[in-house]
Amino acid sequence: MNIRNIAIIAHVDHGKTTLVDKILHQTNVFRANQESGDLIMDNNDLERERGITILSKNVSVDYKGVKINVIDTPGHADFGGEVERVLKMADGVILLVDAFEGPMPQTRFVLQKALQLNLKPIVVINKVDKENCRPDEVHDAVFELFFNLDATEDQLNFPTFYGSGKNGWFNSSLTKCDDITPLMDGILEYVPAPKMPEGNLQMQITSLDYSSFLGRIAVGRVTRSFIEENQWITLMQADGSAKKQKVRELYVFEALGKRKVSKVEAGDICAVVGIEDFNIGDTIADAEAPEALPVISVDEPTMNMLFGINNSPFFGKDGKFVTSRHLRDRLVKETEKNLALRVVDTDSADSFLVYGRGILHLGVLIETMRREGYELTVGQPQVIVKSIDGKKCEPYETLVVDVPQEFASKVIDLVTRRKGEMLIMETKGEMQHLEFEIPSRGLIGLRTQMLTATAGEAVMAHRFNDYKPWKGAIPGRNNGVLIAKEAGSTTAYSLDKLQDRGSFFVDPGEEVYKGMIIGENNKPGDLVVNPNEGKKLTNMRASGSDGAANIAPKILMTLEECMEYIQHDECIEVTPNFIRMRKAILDEEERKRSAKSLKAEA
């Protein structure tokens, strides 16, 4: 068959999306005079801003008469659910590894999934033009990783290509060539054509698309037989139910778009229009003799957060969707395509418990909702605790940090304070490579502290490892916060006088309300302050008393930094234009009563 299905997998920032760009240019998808730009596949605003792939996407290119379906996958551990489902569409994988960093935690995670599915790997060592690169050592490390993951004899015999995605060349040796032709030829040579098992129609839905004209569209790979327009099929669902439905239209992927067809043979990836009430993992099967494929299994979430309606005094001022019904509908809709997410109702009708893979996974969901016009309140992220053999257990992660040698001791100190244990310490060029095992709780708030301690030089990555016994209390934030005493507009006069108390998250002239967190205290313990006090104006003037207010700029915090910063009695108010931190109980007297009753219970 003249089809090859290949997924590109790698750790975050190793160059997957850049490689897809080069494949698109090599196969003349764009006209010579057409502006295409970079990161063609990262077409979502959030992906371009953060420089990471969040959603997996596929394109199709034609090379030497062979159709190659290329699937670009996310590299971040938090979006592992995305990778796990799309690998089912591939017959081979390109494992991209940075020539300096070598295999990283996420490389191990995605490679393990690919080897379990018996996919043929091609190893590409990228960025060989970088200083300090060590392609031969990295090749040995990749072989060792394959061996440790119980790769078969055939998988261990992987072909390797070297090159630079940014400069647009890949070759089977370290010799520089003109373009990526050797790699494209390697895909045709090493990736097997799709197998064609005997039997009736089977196609698993591994992704979904949406069109305002056509509604929800099921995307997947035809595993057996063929699928036709206007054909009657049976939709086999995960709960065991089966529904007869009719295929209205069929599309195959062509370059960056889709092309309408009347029939799709086994082995190709297609989009099916006309099927209703389907979920990812369901099987489209023959109408008369349906057979279901195994349901896609996705690793369990490790963290949860409380999402609720915005109940601050500024409720409804900024967003379009503010009620609990809006919030519930949006979260349920997200679970349809985001397999690693779970939503659970709580005792209150206004709040929901949302389970996810990590802070970035939940942060991207909140950021997306904010941009769509939702107002909501989110609580502190909590790890999911399980009872295993009667013992209280929590999730542990493998943390990898690459840092200049002079900062290594600071990193070790920070991680060990948070109950992390060092497993590996080795030198990579001028950098120190450190590996730790740390409870997931210890990672909350660690990134900000580590970047501060290492002057922004640390590169850290982590992935879920296993559930292990509870490690005890982990120290949280050292300093308290400054809380607004009453509602009003902040004044330069008041903030100037309060500067020796701490640093601020607000500027003069900003609207605040009672109970809102407006800054960080210099000392432990919270402090209620009045940032709205105006200067008393009289006719009397004294020389030197009218010095201009000299106020430090406010500290700007991203949504993820706020999520890591807040404590259990605090929450974040998220609206389309503002992110504010506040106390869960706004009234000071009520907070004191609540703290007393909690102490009495303890």
Q: In whole angstroms, what is the distance from residue 572 CA to residue 388 CA? A: 33
Q: Is 14 marked as binding a ligand?
A: yes
Q: Is 282 annotated as a binding residue?
A: no
Q: Is 546 annotated as a binding residue?
A: no
Q: DSSP state, 197?
A: -
Q: What DSSP character marks residue 339? A: T
Q: Which residue has the tokens 């520089």?
A: 176
Amino acid, single-letter form, for residue 403: V
Was 568 annotated as part of a binding site?
A: no
In three state form, how does the secondary structure of 82-151 look?
Answer: HHHHHHHHCCEEEEEEECCCCCCHHHHHHHHHHHHCCCEEEEEEECCCCCCCCHHHHHHHHHHHHHHCCC
CB of 309 closer than 8 Å to CB of 326: no
Residue 383 marked ligand-binding:
no
Alpha-carbon span 481 to 222, nearest angstrom = 57
Q: Which amino acid is at 236?
A: M
Classified as helix, coil or strand, 32 is coil
Q: Do residues 286 and 225 make contact, with C-beta atoms less than 8 angstroms apart?
A: yes
Strand runs (DSSP E) across 296-360, as ranges?
A: 303-309, 342-345, 351-356
Q: Is 476 annotated as a binding residue?
A: no
Establish whether 17 is an annotated binding residue. yes
Binding residue per annotation — 326?
no
E runs forming strands in 442-510? 459-469, 481-484, 488-489, 502-504
Tell me the backbone φ, ψ of residue 573, rounded to 5 degrees.
-95, 120
18 is in an annotated binding site: yes
Q: Does the annotation flag 16 for ligand binding?
A: yes
Which residues make up each annotated binding site for GTP?
A: 13-18, 126-129
Which residues make up each annotated binding site?
A: 13-18, 126-129
